[in-house]
Amino acid sequence: VTAIADAEIPTAANPLFQHMLETYASETNKTSSIWGSIDVSDLDFRPHARSSSVREIMKHQLLSERRFFGEFLGTPEPAAALVLPTEETPT
């Protein structure tokens, strides 16, 4: 699953920072590909009783990225309800 096509990656105002945009797109595409390969029936899977479920890990990742970009860009964090999907499916 490609979330950000190469043609959609913007050109950095300063060419020294182009790699940051390309790396972000690459990492986003990798994450999207992995999450897209998970079946809904696997969301509650836990490799160990004390570990997080796939669903909990997905939520944690979305909320962590929200916090990272809020702090990194100095923007207010959107409410968790706006970040988490209303329908819990990996695709």
Tens of pLDDT, residue by residue over 19-73, are 998 998 998 899 888 888 899 999 999 999 999 999 999 889 888 888 887 787 7
Length reported for the chain: 91
With a pLDDT cut of 90, the percent of the chain lying above it is 40
The mean pLDDT value of the chain amounts to 87
Residue 1, C-beta contacts closer than 8 angstroms, at least 6 positions apart: 29, 32, 33, 35, 36, 91
Is residue 87 predicted with pLDDT exceeding 80?
no
